[in-house]
Amino acid sequence: MGIKKFVTPEIIFGIGSIDQVGESCLRLGAKKALIVSDEGVVEAGWMEKVINNCRAVGLEYATFFNITMNPKDFEIECGREFYLHNECDSVIGIGGGSALDVAKAIAILATNGGRISDYEGVDQIKIPLPPMVMVSTTAGSGSEVSQFSVIVDTTRQKKMTIISKSLVPDIAIIDPNTLITKNQSLTASTGLDVLTHGIEAYVSVAATPLTDVQAKNAISLVSKYLRPSVASKTNIEAKKAMAMASLQAGLAFSNAILGAAHAMSHAIGGRFPFSHGDVNAILLPYVMEFNFIATPKRFADIAELMGIDVRGMELSKAGRKAVEQVRLLSLEIGAPQRLSDMGLKEESIQEMGKIALEDACMITNPRDVTLKDVEQLFRQAL
């Protein structure tokens, strides 16, 4: 099999684990942390909880939460200046993927300097980052355990994928209780992002036995628990399961990387203010159909993980059942079904295709992809 690596932070999982933020920073030698979040997390009360915890253990802090969905390069530069001005020595990220990606990107510039675009691609970070503690409040991006940060280059109107083991946080905290403040649409969108992470990691050309275990369990948990999690904010069993699914999918894709669905979603997210999870949910079935011939056995496995009895079925039939199940799940939880419904136009497709082909996630897609292929996939999803 050759030499494989599997990177992961220290993981603290469970109800009430958010109360370990301050102590976790102190264990890493932090004196003053920059707490990075967004207005939604502030309104939900989770920022205040983290601040109170930092005060309780004597950790100094500054707060930065002026960020947007699909975070921008200039927001990172503002965050870097804020970090340096306040003489911080560590970073706490709390929120969904946007907040955590910003926290990581600020850490890059705080120690490495330059512009965030300097670090696009794989392994461009040269100087170690400050201590990082990431608290996930969605199930979710998996950014709290991943070696990814995705930031919009506003000049090129492109989402930059930054991949480096330096971006793996020191400590990841996952408290399922934070999920109870999310509405149905956000729960659905982030949950389908988790499913996309699990499926793309499982069929990735960089998948290993270590990533397979994580990806398979994530797919199974999403299939069983996303519906009840969307249906009820207070179903704590479903929230725990979805938090675990997000964590395991994050570990899987951080190490196996992703595929065409994410490359295409990043291309759209760089130019349009669409929800990343919603775009993934629309694209995923079409990308699965395209990739099927590259690894039919793996798609049959996915069908089984999603509750289909595939015994005695031909691989082609079993694998396509996986696509049917993804579509059914998306429909039942009320996710968007067409890119045109979100506002994407035919005239954007050619440019989106070119950008998607340049994305690092395309490298590990199981089937070779041409510009014509990407454009056709966009049109199918339009």
pLDDT in tens, 324-349: 999 999 999 999 999 999 889 999 99
If asked whether residues 163 and 218 sit together in one domain, one would say: no
- How confident is the model over 176-204, as pLDDT tens digits? 999 999 999 999 999 999 999 999 999 99
Residue 321 belongs to a domain with what CATH number? 1.20.1090.10
Give 273: exposed, middle or buried? Use CB within 10 Å, 0-12, 13-18, 19+. Answer: exposed
Given a contact cutoff of 8 angstroms between Cβ atoms, the answer to whether 61 and 94 are in contact is: no
If asked whether residues 102 and 199 sit together in one domain, one would say: no
pLDDT of residue 140: 84
Q: Is residue 3 one of the residues assigned to a domain?
A: no
Domain boundary among 131, 147, 178: 178
Q: Is residue 18 one of the residues assigned to a domain?
A: yes
Mean of pLDDT values over 31-42: 95
pLDDT over threshold 90, residue 145: yes
Q: Is residue 5 one of the residues assigned to a domain?
A: no
If asked whether residues 146 and 222 sit together in one domain, one would say: no
Domain boundary among 178, 213, 242: 178
If asked whether residues 167 and 221 sit together in one domain, one would say: no
Of 166, 175, 218, which Cα lies nearest the Cα of 24?
175
Q: Is residue 49 one of the residues assigned to a domain?
A: yes
If asked whether residues 287 and 166 sit together in one domain, one would say: no
Q: Is residue 4 one of the residues assigned to a domain?
A: no
- Residue 292's domain comprises 184-381
If asked whether residues 138 and 222 sit together in one domain, one would say: no
Domain boundary among 152, 178, 204: 178
pLDDT over threshold 90, residue 69: no
Structure tokens at 209: 């036995």
- Using 50, 70 and 90 to split pLDDT, how confident is the model at 66? confident
Average pLDDT of the residues of the chain: 95
- How confident is the model over 267-326, as pLDDT tens digits? 999 989 899 999 999 999 999 999 999 999 999 999 999 999 999 999 889 999 999 999
3-class secondary-structure state, position 154: coil
- Using 50, 70 and 90 to split pLDDT, how confident is the model at 210? very high
- How confident is the model over 89-123, as pLDDT tens digits? 999 999 999 999 999 999 999 999 999 999 999 99
Please give the helix or strand (H or E) that residue 35 lies within, else none.
strand 32-36
Work out the percent of the chain whose per-residue pLDDT is above 90.
93
If asked whether residues 194 and 291 sit together in one domain, one would say: yes
If asked whether residues 101 and 238 sit together in one domain, one would say: no
Q: Is residue 330 one of the residues assigned to a domain?
A: yes
Q: Is residue 281 one of the residues assigned to a domain?
A: yes
DSSP letter string over 38-79?
-HHHHHHTHHHHHHHHHHHHT-EEEEE----SS-BHHHHHHH
If asked whether residues 271 and 154 sit together in one domain, one would say: no
- Using 50, 70 and 90 to split pLDDT, how confident is the model at 4? confident
Residue 167 belongs to a domain with what CATH number? 3.40.50.1970
If asked whether residues 208 and 102 sit together in one domain, one would say: no
DSSP letter string over 273-316?
---HHHHHHHHHHHHHHHHGGG-HHHHHHHHHHTT---TT--HH
d(CA 69, CA 347): 24
Q: Is the dihedral of CA 303, 202, 172, 52 positive or negative?
A: negative
pLDDT of residue 5: 83
Number of domains in the chain: 2
If asked whether residues 244 and 114 sit together in one domain, one would say: no
pLDDT of residue 49: 95
If asked whether residues 93 and 189 sit together in one domain, one would say: no
d(CA 61, CA 71): 22
Single pTM value for the model: 0.95
pLDDT of residue 237: 98
Number of CB atoms found within 10 A of residue 227's CB: 16
Q: Is residue 2 one of the residues assigned to a domain?
A: no
pLDDT of residue 42: 92
